[in-house]
Amino acid sequence: MRLATANPVSRFAAAHVEWEVPPPPANLQVFEDHSKSILARNDSPDLHFRWSVNPYRGCFHACAYCYARPTHEHLGLGAGSDFDRKLVVKPNAPELLRQALSKPSWQREFILFSGNTDCYQPLEHHYRLTRACLEVCHAFGTPIGVITKSALVCRDAELLAEMGRAAGAEVVLSIPFHHAPTCRAVEPGTPPPARRYEAIRVLSEAGVRVGVNIAPVIPGLSDHDIPAILKAAREAGAQHARVLPVRLSPQVEAVFTERVGATFPGRVASVLGKIRRMRGGELNDARFGERFRGQGEEWASTMALFRTWHDRLGYTERPERAYAPARPPAAPEPTSPQLSLFGALKTGP
């Protein structure tokens, strides 16, 4: 897959360059980020978790609609092909996570992988940072969740099953499209839907709790796929399901419009019009409480379609987790006077 070098103008750039000839291909470049911390704290009232871990920045999956694209601008890079091909890895992520979970203040709270860009994108084949971070969480009895589009998550099925039995672990496969050619056009670096359904099957058979996110729903492009996705995912073993509407910030809108316009030139105006009707006349509503909800009769029909098939197929309701600090296991009673000099044995952070 070859993407042309194309980036919307950064909000933070003092100047930018416009190509006078067709831009060259965007080649893969990998940079190392030696951060001093790895746990990201989330304070948004829309999110039902406090902590997330992101071993990578940028994403090879190159999804045209990705809400995380503008975060690349904080690195001095673009939200377009820079986000797709100038990728950042955090090689010290496992050690930083071990340090964080070793602190006496850590209360074994739920951690989401990743919350920003996909923790199982192709770089994980080589760097194995997600695997190493999961092993750290397992060692400290920390419950986790994973959201991914990648079938690579199956590599860690056994570990995730062990974590689920010990402290709690679940995986959600994001599958916005059932139609493979549309998927390839909009999410060119992701595995096809059939491989993601198979990943659900592998994880479910291993004993991992699995769900499916139909996210984002793009009206006029993917909303009609909802019944097929729910049916295929349920047959593969998905237990819960959720839908989320697409949201296009200005930086993402530029990438999305270019990609969809090149692939479906006769539909882009209609799709953008439907998104605006779903978003109160805009392409994005960034307000807390509104970001993950659509508006209008068309979105109400979409939700009705989802609910009908959700209930018909026997999906379970997934209660929102409180993600309150877990109570640490009781420390063993001292078995000798010498042990009591140092207090009770510590079984975790």
Rg of the chain on CA atoms, in Å? 21
pLDDT, residue 339, reads 31
- The pLDDT score that the predictor gives to residue 12 is 54
Q: What is the pTM of this model?
A: 0.85
What was the pLDDT predicted at 5? 57
Distances (CA, A) of 196 to 73, 177, 191, 220, 233: 30, 11, 7, 23, 9
Ranges of each domain in the chain: 29-316
Q: What is the DSSP string of 311-349?
A: HHTTPPP-PPP--PPPPPPPPPPP-SHHHHTT-SPP---
Low-confidence stretches of the chain (pLDDT < 50) are 15, 19, 21, 322-349
Contacts of 212 (CB under 8 A, 6+ apart): 172, 173, 174, 175, 200, 229, 230, 233, 238, 240, 241, 242
Instruction: Write the DSSP string, 148-172.
Output: ES-GGGGGGHHHHHHHHHHT-EEEE
pLDDT digits (tens, 9 = 90+) for 8-27: 665 555 545 554 545 657 78
Of the CATH numbers 3.20.20.70, 3.90.1640.10, 3.40.30.10, 3.40.50.300, which one belongs to the domain with range 29-316? 3.20.20.70
What pLDDT, on the 0 to 100 scale, is given for residue 84?
A: 95
